[in-house]
Structure 1
Amino acid sequence: MIAVWLLLLPAAVLAHDVAEGDKAFVQSIDGPAFIPFLYLGAKHMVTGYDHILFLIGVVFFLYRLKDVLLYVSMFTIGHSITLLGGVLLGFGVNSYLIDAIIALSVIYKGFENIGGFKWLGFTPNTKLVVLVFGLFHGLGLSSKLMSLDMSQNGLLANLIGFNVGVEVGQVIVLACVVTVLNLWRNSRGFARGAYGANLALVLAGMLLATWQIKGYLTT
């Protein structure tokens, strides 16, 4: 699965943004439109390669459902706070910079999963780190929404719809990821392949971060 993402990464980087048709639609709305924004939120998460790679890293070695729910809840709390708060307070960050930080979250999870912090003699609080990176992921989402110049009429309802949509998309993605991981874990090659897969996560994060920093420096 990681290998597929790496092969598709150049196209995904170009595609991971709000489509022009969606931008025009959002800018045409003046008032509450909960369902359309729910759809947009779900679409953004399902096509959000950086969010998906991070979530793959988060659940990679989680074998119990309650642990998956706990870590995903920390991520959800984090990105919900900054998604809603960022737009309502008018606080945005350059999209290239915030996406570079999101790429660093992918590097972090891959590095943690291959035991990188054990080599350094340091054990981070994994739950707190997921929460903090969730804040950055939400800030990335809010920055993209703010760039659409949304109407203030019905803004809160539309933001809630978008956030709910993000959660719907997240559930869809996690259902697929956890299913594939569970099938893979039952195979003999999991222990050997897991290390390579997480190295691939680190590589993917480095490629994404390089791309975003280049974009920041050249625009």
Structure 2
Amino acid sequence: MIPALRGGAPCIRTARAALPLFVLAILALTGADALAHGVTAGDKGYIQEISGMNLLPFLYLGAKHMVTGYDHLLFLFGVVFFLYRLEHVAIYVSLFALGHSTTLLFGVLWDTNVSAYLIDAIIGLSVVYKALDNLGAYRRWFGVQPNTKVATLVFGLFHGFGLATKIREFEIAPDGLIPNLLAFNVGVEIGQLLALSAILIVMGFWRRTDGFLRHAYTANVAMMTAGLLLIGYQLTGWAVAA
């Protein structure tokens, strides 16, 4: 459990240290939706003009989509926040990859008609859930600890549906659809590994500092705030579009 939870409110120094995280979260979530899931006009136009098997373009698009998807990255950041051993990181990331790979393929091939706004709101909820989990909130509030592996897999499924709702915006030609989807999925995994590597490097340096445990509380509060903002943003979009 984070020490700040045992000692009450975080100190002013901790709050100041986490202020940049909060500011970044605000800027990210109030910026263009393309940073999270949106399909740029150039990418969409290119995909609509080509047909047949085009593995490298879809590989690139999958990697780009994950690296620029701040909601996915926030969740991954929360998942690895207190994972210190690489084998543990591998287990959780594999469960997340299994979840989003399954629903990405299913969502596109079976043309599931799911609101992108609602799916992205659930993705925001996953960020809030993980932040609260890192804060030890469930033990304090309910006296139980949810199975973190199951939660990672389940939220991975929703993240995959989020990917599926956006890749459908590409309006991919049916010719070569399955190979292109597989290439996109491989690209997503490559992007995830690149982003995860960067996160782990930063976390590794941060964990060596004396202030890591002091600042962990406020970092997770900032992450939870970002998730709540994402939920509100997506639900507002859903209400306006309805």
> CA offset at residue 63 of structure 1?
0.1
Q: Given residue 173 of structure 1, which amino acid in structure 2 is its aligned partner?
A: A
In the alignment, which residue of structure 2 is the partner of 1:168? 190
Shift of 1:152: 0.6
Secondary structure at the aligned position of 1:151 is classed as coil
* Equivalent position amino acid for 1:98 in 2: I
- Find the aligned partners of 1:169 and 1:5 in 2 and give their Cα distance: 21
Give the Cα–Cα distance (whole angstroms) in 2 for the partners of residues 176 and 15 of structure 1. Answer: 18
2:72 to 30, 51, 70: 51
**Deviation readout 1:72-125 (Å, 9 max, x if unpaired):** 000000000000111111113111110000000000010100111111212111
| Contact 1:93–1:140 (Cα < 8 Å) also in 2 | no
Q: Is the 8 A contact 1:95 1:143 kept in 2?
A: yes
What amino acid does structure 2 have at the position aligned with 1:6? A
Question: How far did 1:4 drift?
Answer: 5.6
Give, as a single letter, the amino acid of the residue that structure 2 aligns with 1:184: W
Structure 1: 4+ residue segments shifted above 2 A: 1-5, 12-16
User: Which whole-Å CA distance do the structure 1 matches of 2:128 and 2:150 have between them?
Assistant: 16
Gaps of 5+ in 1: none
SS in 1 for 2:61: helix
Q: Distance in 2 between matches of 1:194 and 1:28?
A: 47
Is 1:23 aligned to 2:14, yes or no?
no
C-alpha displacement of 1:170 = 0.3
Q: Which has the larger radius of gyration?
A: 2
**Partner Cα distance (2:206, 2:84) in 1:** 12
Size of the aligned set, in residue pairs, is: 219
- Over the aligned positions, Cα root-mean-square deviation in angstroms equals 1.2
CA distance in 2: counterparts of 1:166 and 1:8, whole angstroms: 24
Q: State the Cα distance separating 1:3 from its structure 2 match.
A: 3.8
Distance 2:113 2:192 in 1: 23
- Cα offset for 1:50? 0.2
Counterpart for residue 102 of structure 1: 123
Percent identical residues? 52
Query: 2:34, 2:40 within 8 Å by CA — same for their partners in 1?
Result: no
For the residue of structure 1 that corresponds to 2:31, the secondary structure is helix
TM-score scaled to structure 2, two decimals? 0.88
Give how far 1:15 is off.
3.3
Q: Please, which runs of 5 or more residues in structure 2 have no aligned partner?
A: 1-19
Match of 2:27 in 1: 8
What are the superposed Cα offsets for residues 163-188 of structure 1, whole Å, 9 maximum, x if unpaired? 00000100110001011111000000
CA contact (8 A) 2:59 2:188 kept: yes
Q: Distance in 2 between matches of 1:97 and 1:82?
A: 15
Deviation at 1:216, TM superposition (A): 0.4
Equivalence map 1:34-183=2 (5 Å) = 34-120=55-141, 121-183=143-205
**Equivalent residue letter for 1:44:** H
Work out the CA distance in 2 between the residues paired with 1:180 and 1:4. 18
Point out the more displaced range, 83-92 or 105-114: 83-92
Q: CA deviation at 1:12?
A: 5.0
Question: Could you tell me the TM-score, scaled by structure 1's length?
Answer: 0.97
Distance in 1, Cα, partners of 2:71 & 2:231: 10
Superposition pairs of residues 203-214 of structure 1, within 5 angstroms: 203-214=225-236
Query: Secondary structure of the residue that 1:26 maps to in structure 2?
Result: helix
